[in-house]
Chains A and B, each alone.
Chain A
Amino acid sequence: MLKRVLAEAVANLLASRQRSALALLGIVIGAAAVIAMLNVGAIARNETIRQFRQLGTDILMLRLDSDSGLGNFQLADVEALPGEVPMVTEVAPFVIGGGSVLHEGNVSNGSHLGVTADFASVARLRTQSGRFISNLDRYELYAVLGQGMAQQLSTPYAPVRVGSNLRIGRYVFTVIGILEPVLQSPMMPVDIDNTLFVSVPNVRRIMANPAMSMAVARIRPDAEAEAAVRQVERYFAPKIRDQRLSVLSARQLIAGMQNQMQLFTLLLGAVGAIALALGGVGVMNIMLVSIAERRREIGVRLAIGAEPGDIRTLFLAEAVILSVAGGIIGIFLGIGGAWFFAWLSGWEFVLSPSAVPLGAGVSAAVGIFFGFYPAVMASRLDPIEALRAE
């Protein structure tokens, strides 16, 4: 019986193709928006996880500011931090700057960091070739390059490798190490891939006003991020005088990003819901028109022995088929849209597992909800009046 009703409903919809297609459109847009929203959410979540996979989430970024600009940590204070605050396991202060680096006529404009040997382990950097800056490197003109910068400076005849010479300002530095490629992390103030590392004493040679204004710290994986932040702030409070310390934890940053993501997702969801509702009203409108046109048919069916329920089922089936067809097209469009978003932003595409069943379910629900009133109207028609209709 159901099969027959569905077949008949499909035949009726095909008979007025143009109108059916128009009614479909709203549902298509609505379903596409909902599906795209779900999928973009999943893609962004996946991306966040990916961004923090390298650096981990048990990390703090410390930054000192003074009234005149960047603040200045005392190296001894920073290095004593793990001993004084047990939640912190490692810490590495660094000096941040930037400028151009020359190699064989190639120029690279990137960040320059003055770091201690600990920086590599705290920020989980590995060298692809050579070694990282050690604490024994002081005024030797040694530099370590991020993968991206090394490639940018390479020429076909002279690739940058350990031993290559770079010119920075008036100095010629020797490359002692090149890092493995690193994903850019939202925690890091610089793109590691596009950064040049030198020892702290060397920063005076390549920066105008160097200041040890930042430090990256790792906390114990079981430590509570907020407690660690508070303890670090308390530790530094008497030592920094009128400078201002800000401590950012990766977990707080992730929470913030997720909040933002949620807002965005909600917004898209609202747009989708509105479009679906409009689509539903469109379906309702088309069904009402179709019923008005087919009054005589309804009259004949009733005279022949159709029960009101049969009429209701028939028209409800048409509305639901219309909505589900729109929903299915919308699912494909939505997934396509999400794929396009991933492609544009260079993020990895993932398919949200709930997208397809949810899209189909929601559009079927819209069909039932908005198809119900017209279907009931049709089933309540008086057979005589319906038969008399032209």
Chain B
Amino acid sequence: MLELVDIGRSFRVGPGEMHILRHLSLTVAAGELVSIMGGSGSGKTTLMNIIGLLDKPTSGQYRIDGQDVLRAEARELSRLRNRLIGFVFQSFFLLPRLNAWRNVALPLMYRGTPEAEARRRALAMLERVGLAERTEHMPAMLSGGQKQRVAIARALVGEPRVVLADEPTGALDPKVSQEIMDLFLELKREFGVLILIITHDPGVAAQCERQVVLANGALTETLRAC
């Protein structure tokens, strides 16, 4: 489903160039759960931005379901992100002025879904992540784990094919971290969605069926089992 071939990404820094990603290739099938590990500054977030269509590689090819997505222009990319991809960030990134269900409904709003239906689906998704009682809460009134659940509900409400999670448990304590991980595993089974989790936590990575490590700009697969 995702196909990255020979990806390179470099940044111009002063007079020189920094090659963060070099000849990176990765293919992930629909419904797989993949962890990406790597040292700080190794380029994990850079890779996620490329996969998430927020950034374009300097070289290489990227296809989603066989479609060359590097050709798309800004508006088309917005639409692809909206339909295909859900994001989960380390520090949640909920909109502070919207309550829980409005945060969750946001991707549907940008898709033009009527408000009543968007609300119904947002409430259902919040119930699914265990927050049926917190739908009207503002983000500031939620705990870290609850915020991340709202963020996961937001990532999934639009029924995307891919969920990209950049250190989703990085800001949470181990117990809550495991609850979030369990939620990911359940949702993967239930929705058959492809999940990419960037993590520093070997415990989190161990629960994924595929584990890859990013080093020196390229990926090495450490294990393919389960």
**B97 near A296: Cβ-Cβ < 8 Å:** no
Residues of B near A104 (CB, < 8 A) are: none
**B54 near A304: Cβ-Cβ < 8 Å:** no
Closest to B93 in A: A300
Closest to A299 in B: B93
From 294 to 345 in chain A, residues with beta carbon under 8 angstroms from any chain B beta carbon are 296-297, 299-310
Indicate whether A387 reaches chain B with its CB closer than 8 angstroms: yes
Interface string of B144-170 (1 = CB under 8 A from A): 000000000010001000000000000
Indicate whether A267 reaches chain B with its CB closer than 8 angstroms: no
Q: How far does the Cβ of B17 sit from chain A's closest Cβ, in whole Å?
A: 18
Interface residues on A, range: 20 to 34
**B106 near A301: Cβ-Cβ < 8 Å:** yes
Closest to B111 in A: A305
Indicate whether B199 reaches chain A with its CB closer than 8 angstroms: no
- Assuming the contacts A1-B112, A383-B54, asked whether A304 and B49 have C-beta atoms less than 8 A apart, the reply is no
**B115 near A384: Cβ-Cβ < 8 Å:** no
- Assuming the contacts A303-B52, A384-B49, asked whether A308 and B93 have C-beta atoms less than 8 A apart, the reply is no
Indicate whether B107 reaches chain A with its CB closer than 8 angstroms: yes
Residues of A near B52 (CB, < 8 A) are: 303
Q: How far does the Cβ of A232 sit from chain B's closest Cβ, in whole Å?
A: 76
Closest to A386 in B: B54
**A305 near B79: Cβ-Cβ < 8 Å:** yes
Residues of A near B27 (CB, < 8 A) are: none
**A305 near B107: Cβ-Cβ < 8 Å:** yes
Interface string of B51-86 (1 = CB under 8 A from A): 010110000000000000000001100110111000
Q: How far does the Cβ of B33 sit from chain A's closest Cβ, in whole Å?
A: 21
Q: How far does the Cβ of B45 sit from chain A's closest Cβ, in whole Å?
A: 9
Give Cα distance in the complex from A302 to B87, angstroms: 11
The one of A12, A303, A309, A383 that contacts B75, using a Cβ cutoff of 8 Å? A309
**B83 near A305: Cβ-Cβ < 8 Å:** yes
Most buried by A among B95, B107, B158: B95
**A304 near B82: Cβ-Cβ < 8 Å:** yes
Q: How far does the Cβ of B170 sit from chain A's closest Cβ, in whole Å?
A: 15
Indicate whether A4 reaches chain B with its CB closer than 8 angstroms: yes
Most buried by A among B106, B111, B158: B106
**A308 near B112: Cβ-Cβ < 8 Å:** no
Indicate whether A11 reaches chain B with its CB closer than 8 angstroms: yes
Give Cα distance in the complex from A193 to B52, angstroms: 87
**A307 near B97: Cβ-Cβ < 8 Å:** no
**A296 near B93: Cβ-Cβ < 8 Å:** yes
Indicate whether A15 reaches chain B with its CB closer than 8 angstroms: yes
Residues of A near B109 (CB, < 8 A) are: 4
Most buried by B among A303, A306, A384: A303
Residues of A near B112 (CB, < 8 A) are: 1
Give Cα distance in the complex from A300 to B92, angstroms: 10
**B97 near A303: Cβ-Cβ < 8 Å:** no
Residues of B near A387 (CB, < 8 A) are: 54, 89, 93
Give Cα distance in the complex from A150 to B89, angstroms: 90
The one of B49, B75, B78, B95 that contacts A300, using a Cβ cutoff of 8 Å? B95
Residues of A near B74 (CB, < 8 A) are: 307-308
**B97 near A302: Cβ-Cβ < 8 Å:** no
Q: How far does the Cβ of B157 sit from chain A's closest Cβ, in whole Å?
A: 10
Give Cα distance in the complex from A12 to B98, angstroms: 10
Residues of B near A383 (CB, < 8 A) are: 54
The one of B54, B79, B96, B111 that contacts A303, using a Cβ cutoff of 8 Å? B54
Residues of B near A11 (CB, < 8 A) are: 97
Residues of B near A301 (CB, < 8 A) are: 95, 106, 110
**B79 near A307: Cβ-Cβ < 8 Å:** yes
Give Cα distance in the complex from A11 to B115, angstroms: 17
**A306 near B78: Cβ-Cβ < 8 Å:** yes
Interfacial residues, chain A to chain B (CB-CB below 8 A) = 1, 4, 11-12, 15, 296-297, 299-310, 383-384, 387
* Contact sample, A vs B, 9 pairs, CB 8 Å cutoff: A296-B93, A301-B106, A302-B78, A303-B81, A303-B87, A304-B106, A304-B154, A305-B111, A307-B74
Interfacial residues, chain B to chain A (CB-CB below 8 A) = 49, 52, 54-55, 74-75, 78-79, 81-83, 87, 89, 93, 95-97, 106-107, 109-112, 115, 154, 158
**Top 4 A-B pairs ranked by shortest CB distance?**
A305-B82, A307-B78, A300-B93, A305-B110
